[in-house]
Chain A
Amino acid sequence: MAIWIEEDAKVLVQGITGKQGMFHADKMVEYGTDIVGGCTPGKGGQTVDLQGKPYPVWHSMTEAITATDADATVIYVPPPFAAEAIMEAADAFDTIKGEGVIVCITEGIPTLDMVKAVAYVDNRPGVRLIGPNCPGIITPGATGGAKIGIMPGHIHAKGRIGIVSKSGTLTYEAVAQTMSIDEGQSTCVGIGGDPVNGTGFIECLAAFEHDPQTEAIIMIGEIGGNAEQEAAAWAAENVTKPIVGFVAGATAPPGKRMGHAGAIISGGKGTAEEKFEAFREAGIACAMDPSELGKVLLESLKTAGLR
């Protein structure tokens, strides 16, 4: 078990004929992800070579899902068209299978486009959106696994730590920290740093809590909004597994956007201090330095009798 994406999940790539889409599709196949083809409107019927093998391209997501029975799709479509790609996938998954996972990697989608896309996805309860502006989701396998996104596959190993994070490279840092204490990962989810996105912290925590493979959780937040505070309060009531947390941006000045569209302290709200405080109140073990996540995790595992 893992969350949402099993090791053998069948995955489509939207924008597979583009430079980004093709590059990352190749890396996903190399890792062992079961890529079943892709979708680029206007290029249906063509094939794309990944790791020396041809993969089919369809015009539409309806055609692609009907032909492949895919479980998930990953979107590398440029910002002007990405929200529409999300809605096309949501409609097709909902109509054909009643379920599906959409992972949107694209950075820079207009916020009002995402407001519409998220409302559209929310009207289709079997469909889950992860991202946008995120590294994706990975469920490492004993050999290979399902890597759906842009993360470096080789740093991961199958294990029992669930990771959820708003940031890409900080997720990799967290993965490396688990490896430093000989722990692997069940599933790692990058939920993205945009102000309006799909899956949030609470849904990830709930899924990790119910997943028998996951025994402890790392949660990484950043300044802006109050998703971390809400997740912490929820976890205090609902999560029995140990959680280790970090929040980036303690030194960020107010009113300045720190790279991610959502990473901004506005009106004195959404500071790292507030979020760390909420974590501590909820009994989440905090690392003040991401290089100490491993150490803090090890202590938490020992306290819980898991090491």
Chain B
Amino acid sequence: MNIHEYQGKMLLRAAGVPVLEGVHCTTVDEALNAYDSLGSKVVAVKSQIHAGGRGKGTVFNPETKDIVMEGGVKIAFSKDEVNTYATNILGNLLVTIQTGEEGKIVNNLYIEAGCDIAHEYYLALLVDRDTKSVLIMASTEGGMDIEEVAEHTPELIHKVVVDANIGILGFQKRDLGMALGLSGAALKSFGKMLSSMYTMFCAEDCAMVEINPLVRTGADEMVALDAKVSFDENAEFRHKNWDDLRDISEEEDTEIRAKETGLSYVKLDGNIGCLVNGAGLAMATMDVIKLYGGEPANFLDVGGGANEEQVKTAFSIILEDPNVKGILVNIFGGIMRCDIIARGVIAATEALSLQVPLVVRLAGTNVDEGKAILAASTLNIHPADDLAEGAQKIVALIGGGQ
């Protein structure tokens, strides 16, 4: 789960990490008031969306698709400029390298005081799969795309692995700071910041905290100029405050509803809907549809113990996508019995008066009963014995690929 920069900075500030003064705004008037209250001649007007590359993005009018302004993060030197930038950004569409062509409507702004920058760095905390630990990464190449730095100049990225049962140690903070060329007050400020950030990372169950850029000010203080914070959704049960931080407008409506019913759904661009049990098999089903010339419309995992009601919800979610021209159900029954799935499929197709072709492949527990139930129904359901046959059938039924 991602949160906005202004929310991330709120958490960082509470944890004791230095951030600049700033105000979250949703209207131009609020932005103008923020300018007055900050008392800083120079401020940054920053679009708040859950995607990177905002500064280099382009703002469009969502109706006419005309370009309104280059850049989703602007430095304003006067109240008039704040007015111009806030007006240009709010309610308009920001397209960045990470949003895709469709972009994102900007409903939130962050007006932040200016700062005297001596140097920009990169800093991130994340869970590293290789070392199975929290990894701290830092680089002197602040403000750059870190993946590019990693590819071209990996020697400029410095890493520290934290022992989960000990925590971050003094020498690790010093080593990392010195690798960045820090000394004196800046090194001390950096060490203090790392401790605070690591504590926050663990306390808030973060998946990643990325500060790009982290800056050293003229006064040798380390300040988080940007903040990209994401949480580990598995830990949601122990963080009631996440509900307040969640921006529903940033998430796919159907994906949220699927999650509430215990389904895992991701919308794709194709026209063959899929309903599968198990994440790996659901991915494989999409892959095989593509292999035989079709395009999957979604990823959908009904989980290990889906009931009739969940199967019905799954069908209705798939059918909400107007691109769907056919559906492939692929179930390998383990805990889940094929006869129950077969009944669920029939109930759902009747209740939703399904119009598109449906191919059902069943295997595993009670497969014969499941197949018999489908065969006995008068509905237009095409059976398949394996995944390849199922994929080929549905591709043929909708008249080949797109």
* Chain A residues engaging chain B, CB cutoff 8 angstroms: 79-80, 108-116, 118-120, 135, 150-152, 154-155, 165-170, 172-173, 176, 193, 195-196, 220, 222-227, 246, 248-253, 255-263, 267-268, 272, 288-292
Whether A172 pairs with B388 at a CB distance below 8 angstroms is no
Q: Which residues from chain A contact B266 at a C-beta distance below 8 Å?
A: 253, 256-258
CA distance A225 to B264 in the complex (A): 20
Shortest distance in angstroms between B45's beta carbon and chain A's nearest beta carbon?
A: 26
Give complex CA distance A169, B363 in Å. 10
Known A79-B234, A259-B301, A290-B387: A172·B282 in contact at CB below 8 Å: no
Chain B residues whose CB sits within 8 angstroms of the CB of A222 once the complex forms: 279-280, 283
Query: Does B147 belong to the interface (CB within 8 Å)?
Result: yes
Q: Which of B233, B287, B386, B389 contacts A248 (CB 8 A)?
A: B287
Q: Check if B132 sits within 8 Å of A167, measured CB to CB.
A: no
Contact A196 B290 (CB under 8 A): no
A169 — nearest CB in chain B belongs to which residue? Answer: B278
A257→B251 CA distance, assembly (Å): 13
What are 24 residue pairs bridging A and B, where the CB atoms are less than 8 Å apart in the complex? A108-B234, A111-B127, A119-B132, A119-B163, A150-B335, A166-B280, A169-B278, A169-B332, A170-B278, A173-B332, A195-B127, A196-B127, A196-B129, A223-B283, A224-B129, A227-B129, A246-B284, A248-B280, A248-B281, A251-B268, A255-B98, A263-B283, A291-B386, A291-B389
Check if B283 sits within 8 Å of A152, measured CB to CB. Answer: no
B394 to chain A, nearest CB (A): 14
Q: Is A249 a contact partner of B363 (Cβ separation < 8 A)? A: no
Q: Which of B233-251 contact A (CB under 8 A)?
A: 233-235, 237-238
A251: chain B residues within 8 A (beta carbon): 268, 283, 286-287, 289-290, 296
Per-residue contact bits, chain B 290-324, to A (CB 8 Å; 1 contact, 0 not): 11000010010100100000000000000000000
Interface centre among B133, B234, B364 (most CB of A within 10 A): B234
| Contact A169 B281, beta carbon cutoff 8 Å | yes
Chain B residues with CB below 8 A from A152, complex form: 333-335, 364-365
* Given A110-B205, A170-B280, A80-B127 contact (CB < 8 Å): no
CB distance from B164 to the nearest CB of A (A): 5
- The B interface, classified by DSSP as helix, strand, loop or mixed, is mixed
* Given A258-B266, A291-B288, also A112-B205 (CB < 8 A): yes
Instruction: Verify A170–B281 contact, CB threshold 8 A.
Output: yes
Interface bin, chain B = 35 or more
Cα separation A196 to B281 with both chains bound (whole Å): 21
Interface residues of B in 331-373 (CB under 8 A from A): 332-335, 363-365
The proximity string for B residues 36-80 relative to A, scoring 1 for CB distances below 8 Å and 0 otherwise, is 000000000000000000000000000000000000000000000
B271 touches A (CB below 8 Å): no
Least CB distance from B349 to A in Å reads: 23
Chain B residues with CB under 8 Å of A115's CB are 127, 132-134, 164
Taking a contact as CB atoms closer than 8 A, the residue among A111, A151, A248 that contacts B232 in the complex is: A111
- Distance, CA A232 to CA B352, complexed state (A): 46
Nearest chain A CB to B252's CB is how many angstroms away?
10
Mark each residue of chain B from 73 to 100: 1 if its CB lies under 8 Å from any CB of chain A, else 0.
0000000000000000000000000100
- Asked if residues B387 and A173 are in contact (CB atoms below 8 Å), the reply is yes
Given A112-B232, A115-B164, A167-B280, do A291 and B387 touch, yes or no (CB 8 Å)?
Answer: yes
Least Cβ–Cβ distance between B234 and chain A, in angstroms: 5
Chain A residue at minimal CB-CB distance from B282: A259
Q: Which 4 A-B pairs have the closest CB atoms?
A: A167-B280, A259-B279, A169-B278, A110-B235
**Please, which residues of chain B bring their CB within 8 A of the CB of A135?**
334
A248 to B280, CA, bound (A): 6
Closest CB-CB distance, B161 to chain A, in whole Å? 11
Residues of A within 8 A of B364 (CB): 152, 155, 172, 176
Which one, A110, A119, A250, A259, contacts B287 given CB within 8 A? A250
For residue A110, which residues in chain B have a CB less than 8 angstroms away from its CB? 205, 232, 234-235, 238
- Contact A268 to B147, CB < 8 A, known contacts A116-B164, A155-B364, A168-B334: yes
- Determine the distance from Cα of A237 to Cα of B332 in the docked complex, in whole angstroms: 35
Taking CB atoms, residues of chain B closer than 8 Å to A169 are 276-278, 280-281, 332, 334
Instruction: Flag if A119 contacts B237 (CB, 8 Å).
Output: no
Contact of A111 among B234, B363, B389 (CB under 8 A): B234
Say yes or no: A259 contacts B264, CB within 8 Å: yes
Expressed in whole angstroms, the Cα–Cα distance for A115 and B127 within the complex equals: 8
CB-CB contacts below 8 Å: B206-258 with A: 207, 232-235, 237-238
Distance A251 CA – B268 CA, assembled complex (angstroms): 9
A255 to B96, CA, bound (A): 15
